[in-house]
Amino acid sequence: MRQEKLFSLLDAFQIETPSWGYADTGTRFGKFLQPAAASTVEEKLADAGVVHRLTGCCPSVAVHVLWDFKAGDDPAQVAEMARRNGVRIGSINPNLFQDQVYKFGSACSSDPKARAEADRHVQESLRIGRETHSDLLSFWMADGTNYPGQDDIVTRKKRMEAALKSWHDAMPETMTMLVEYKPFEPAFYATDIADWGMAYLYAKQAGPRAKVLVDTGHHLPGANIEQIVAWLIDEDMLGGFHFNDRKYADDDLTLGSIDPYAVFRIFHEIRTAAEIHGRDVSKIAYMIDQSHNLKPKIEAMIQTVTTAQELYAKACLVDHAKLQDAQAQRNIVDAEECLRAAFYTDVKPLLAQWRSGHSLAADPMAAYRASGYVEKITAEREAARKERGENSSPAYA
């Protein structure tokens, strides 16, 4: 691939960072605080702005309704905060799992009060989306059951179908609905959207502006995620990704920290769909969904973003003509070597050139560490916490 084409593809490769990735998070066992972590939506947007300025490819920020928007907040003011920090509001993520009313589910619950509250919350999320000019409504539903006989499986399916169809029809015409799936947790017997096939069916039922969202951590061990991706693209049903990595299940680890070749293979299928099968992949939403419990928040985000750029660039370098020829000859070794050759190419010099062309530092991580930003926000945020009467974060990272 010529350098000009590769750079053009990198120009179009944009990654959305999540507001929650900049804040203190934890596991079911506890939360470990970091002194530089963001506590407010304004601080989250400031950090996201820094990541975008250093990487040049993260212009939007995913927000979580409830975590980022409180009662009485003006969404237009939040959108203006984003603009001042050089970013914009991206996907709107309703929270249908946190409140006590959702103990037995949200859209699928047998309790009509829970279903009504879920509808109220999604309508509020849609209002926020309109006022912030978001074009994505992203659903992860925690609905499911823990025990056989707890609820009727098909009845729950029909409740979910009706809810998603109603919310799809309420969206502005510029918005796309993303339907995410997960095989288990918090439900451990039957999850109401457990795999890509179920998400596909729900999206098809919901309407033409509903697509499937693939979270790279939401699969059972051994699942061939790139095959799922290839099928969804061919059916024009791939809406986007939540990128992370995992060793066991939904571990939310930084991208490529466990299996970078798996991410490369996903990007390869996307480029193959475009280069060989003529599919339009320009509207796929690339988003990060990670909670950085141990790594410093902004460093972890920069690491993930630059890793995604590297693996995407490698996938762009696959020689498709040579690959197709080897496949036609049933030459398995040479076909595999086409992928391996691209994967083992050192693309860092190419990315440094691309960044130079955009007046960016060749090494975003080094530039961030030299900027003094983390020292500045640590002092400011510790002072702000004290002023609000909150417990200070520990002095160690």
Neighbours of 179 (CB within 10 A): 29
pLDDT in tens, 229-256: 999 999 999 999 999 999 999 999 999 9
Look at residue 185 in the predicted model and tell me its pLDDT: 94
Q: For 274-315, how does the pLDDT look when each residue is reduced to its tens digit (9 = 90+)?
A: 999 999 999 999 999 998 999 999 999 999 999 999 999 999
- Tens-digit pLDDT profile for residues 186-202: 999 999 999 999 999 99
Tell me if residue 28 falls in helix, strand or coil: coil
Instruction: Give residue 395's pLDDT.
Output: 46
In contact, 126 and 95? CB cutoff 8 Å? no
Coil, helix or strand for 137? strand
- Give residue 265's identity as a one-letter amino acid code: R
* Most confident stretch, 1-10, 26-35, 226-235: 226-235
Neighbours of 235 (CB within 10 A): 12
Contacts 24+ apart (CB under 8 A), 71-77: 74/131, 75/127, 75/128, 75/131, 75/132, 76/131, 76/132
Where would I find the beta strands (DSSP E) of the chain?
Answer: 15-18, 26-27, 30-31, 60-64, 88-93, 136-139, 144-145, 176-180, 190-191, 210-215, 238-243, 285-288
pLDDT at 258 exceeding the cut of 80: yes
Q: Which domains does the chain show, CATH number per domain?
A: 3-388 (3.20.20.150)
Q: What is the mean pLDDT of the chain?
A: 96
- Residues above pLDDT 90, as percent of the chain: 93
pLDDT at 22: 97
DSSP letter assigned to residue 285? E
Give yes or no for residue 165 having a pLDDT over 80: yes
Looking at per-residue pLDDT, the higher value among 71 and 202 belongs to 202
Confidence band, pLDDT 50/70/90 cuts, at residue 20: very high
Q: How confident is the model at residue 99 (pLDDT cuts 50, 70, 90)?
A: very high
pTM of the full predicted structure? 0.96
Using the predicted structure, report yes or no on whether residue 396 has a pLDDT greater than 70.
no
Distance CA 4, CA 264 (A): 21
